[in-house]
Structure 1
Amino acid sequence: MTTLKALVVDDASFVRDLVKRTVRQRFPVIETTDAQNGRRAQSLMSRTTFDLVLCDWEMPEMSGLELLQWMRQQPHYQKVPFIMITSRGDKDHVVEAVKEGVSEYLGKPFSPEGLSKKIIKVMGRRLKEAMDGSGKSMDGPADAFRESADLLTQKREVAPPKPAASAPNPAADNPLLAAGRQGGSAGRSAQKASMTVASVRFSDSTLKSVVKDVNLTEVRVIAKRDQVFPGILDQAVVDIDTGEGQMARLNGYVHQLQAVDKRQDTDFVSVTIRFVDEDPKKMEDLSRFVARFRAAAR
């Protein structure tokens, strides 16, 4: 049986594990090795030839773009597929990666289906032949464990409580203003954090929310319940304005979902995102944000 080799590069072990698990479940003919940054990946690639590289952009010591630049200068790696998996999805970064020879670009957070499609696209006939040779189908069914996990962690749209008859509310689409007018503990908390609106991105939805608390390990946000909520352990990217027009994109996963009030018809849900990045630059950006948030909350 033909075995292909893939190198997974990301400074967050949680993301590396997600990628490796997806590859292992969908493509059993691909053997995975991982590295925590571009420098380590470069060392591994100098000793072993890989058939596919799946790499983050922002990493300490050597970024994904620098690894891609080095890789395309090596004769035996000039045509090896390179998939950039990153939270940097703006046009300028995509264009820059394409110029340097990236094969495909996948935004974080990603779904297993999205990653699988990218791998099939860049590996093409070589992957199909390897799968056929092993007796496996490219569209084979998911294993029972993954199906069970999907049932436990699937995203759901929480039905809002029936609204009481009232005059139109111009702040209805603003979770912060709505929380402030709602009264109670949720309203006071959101009103106090009125300058800290957060955007939390998941693989197929974005949660509009306000920051309730944040530290170097996790962030807790409050969102109106009439949105699509993620599942426990779902990947997340938290976009944080660090000031002066700079945006930090912090990778994490859903650690906790909890009703804000102790009643079934609560209007707000608390979501805790646990950070997974190990990039010193991101930690520096996060530290500045935490200090600014705590100063504003006094």
Structure 2
Amino acid sequence: MAMLKALVVDDASFVRDLVKRTVRQRFPVIETTDAQNGRRAQSLMSRTAFDLILCDWEMPEMSGLELLQWMRQQPQYENVPFIMITSRGDKDHVIEAVKGGVSEYLGKPFSPEGLSKKIIKVMGRKLKDAMDRSGKSMASPADVFKESANLLTRKPEPMADNPVASTSSSPSPAAPAATPKQAPSRGSMSLASVRFAESTLKSVVKDINLTEVRVIAKRDQVFPGILDQAVVDIETGEGQMARLNGYVHQLQAVDKRQDTDFVSVTIRFVDEDPKKLEDLSRFVARFRAGMR
């Protein structure tokens, strides 16, 4: 029987399901409820007491930062752990979240181990006591509970003075590398960095629409697995960067040879934020125009 309650907030149902599945498998004493945006989360939090909030930043109607700021003004949620899970890992956003009272900050895409460690860190003794009372243990194979047992013997630590350091569990956005030599191309090229939980893929956008993007990358890089989480960073012009959440839908050799130099990766988008879809729509239009 669940003894603790967590609220998972993200506009992408795919991401909510990933978070809930990780919590269910690793922490059977935590019951999860989900909300598609901050406004819905606020409504649920006003009616039910939650022990942990796992929340995205960019969402329609009410952002994760706005929810955090509201939450810290409520006496019952003044000290409840809040983990911000977001594709925005730049220093300014991290500092803004710290000022708002965030407990921990986890970059997308995240691994189950990375998320579990953050939950263990912020829940501390409360989680350990609940697990002990239930007689249940953590799920293998990662055995994150043992790996982070030292975190359970002390109170949750505040964020470090240099908050950017706390985001090291996920790779930070990096500037795209130079276009791969002899990479297949057509028309005006757009560079993209595709971030995964353990690596970043430098690539060229081959095709894109409102539901997916196909990129070409050199084979000598670290490639993900099918259905792995991904964040696609695309230069949209005028110094702007689009960060689109998705998952790996397809991996395919560009040439019909085993020694092909390039691999095609298709990422299906999962964002449901109208603002992100509007930005994506403008980029797709410019991309199509450049191909003519």
**TM-score (norm: length of structure 2):** 0.86
Q: Cα distance, 1:193 vs. partner?
A: 4.7
Q: Look up the match of 1:153.
A: none
Q: Which has the larger radius of gyration?
A: 1
Q: Look up the match of 1:141.
A: 140
Between the aligned partners of 2:236 and 2:206, the Cα distance in structure 1 is: 17
CA separation of 1:59 and 1:2: change in aligned 2, threshold 3 A: closer
Letter in 2 for 1:178: Q
Work out which of the residue numbers 217, 231, 236 in structure 2 matches 1:237.
Answer: 231
**TM-score (norm: length of structure 1):** 0.84
Q: Tell me, yes or no, if structure 1 residue 177 matches structure 2 residue 177.
A: no
- Answer whether contact 1:211 1:220 (CA < 8 A) is retained: yes
Q: Tell me, yes or no, if structure 1 residue 96 matches structure 2 residue 96.
A: yes
Work out which of the residue numbers 272, 285, 288 in structure 2 matches 1:291.
Answer: 285
Q: Look up the match of 1:246.
A: 240
- Answer whether contact 2:2 2:28 (CA < 8 A) is retained: no
- Equivalences for residues 217-228 of structure 1 within 5 A: 217-228=211-222
Q: Cα distance, 1:244 vs. partner?
A: 1.5
SS at match of 2:220: coil
Q: Cα distance, 1:19 vs. partner?
A: 0.2
Q: Look up the match of 2:12.
A: 12
Q: Tell me, yes or no, if structure 1 residue 281 matches structure 2 residue 291.
A: no
Letter in 1 for 2:215: V
- Answer whether contact 1:52 1:82 (CA < 8 A) is retained: yes
Work out which of the residue numbers 202, 208, 213 in structure 1 matches 2:196.
Answer: 202
Q: Cα distance, 1:255 vs. partner?
A: 0.4
Letter in 2 for 1:31: E
Work out which of the residue numbers 206, 209, 214 in structure 1 matches 2:208.
Answer: 214
Between the aligned partners of 2:192 and 2:89, the Cα distance in structure 1 is: 18
Task: Please give the per-residue CA displacement for 1:85-139, whole angstroms capped at 9, x wherever unaligned.
Answer: 000000000000000100000000000000000000000000001011111234x
- C-alpha RMSD over aligned residues: 1.4
- Answer whether contact 2:214 2:266 (CA < 8 A) is retained: yes
SS at match of 1:216: coil
Between the aligned partners of 2:273 and 2:180, the Cα distance in structure 1 is: 31
Residues matched between the structures, number: 258
Gaps of 5+ in 1: 144-172, 180-186
SS at match of 1:212: strand
Between the aligned partners of 1:113 and 1:3, the Cα distance in structure 2 is: 22
Between the aligned partners of 1:288 and 1:121, the Cα distance in structure 2 is: 41
Between the aligned partners of 2:43 and 2:201, the Cα distance in structure 1 is: 39
CA separation of 1:268 and 1:32: change in aligned 2, threshold 3 A: same
CA separation of 1:297 and 1:176: change in aligned 2, threshold 3 A: farther
- Equivalences for residues 83-122 of structure 1 within 5 A: 83-122=83-122
Between the aligned partners of 2:39 and 2:226, the Cα distance in structure 1 is: 32
Q: Look up the match of 1:69.
A: 69
Q: Look up the match of 2:249.
A: 255
- Answer whether contact 2:8 2:54 (CA < 8 A) is retained: yes
- Answer whether contact 1:37 1:62 (CA < 8 A) is retained: yes
- Answer whether contact 1:193 1:210 (CA < 8 A) is retained: no
SS at match of 1:85: strand
Q: Look up the match of 1:165.
A: none
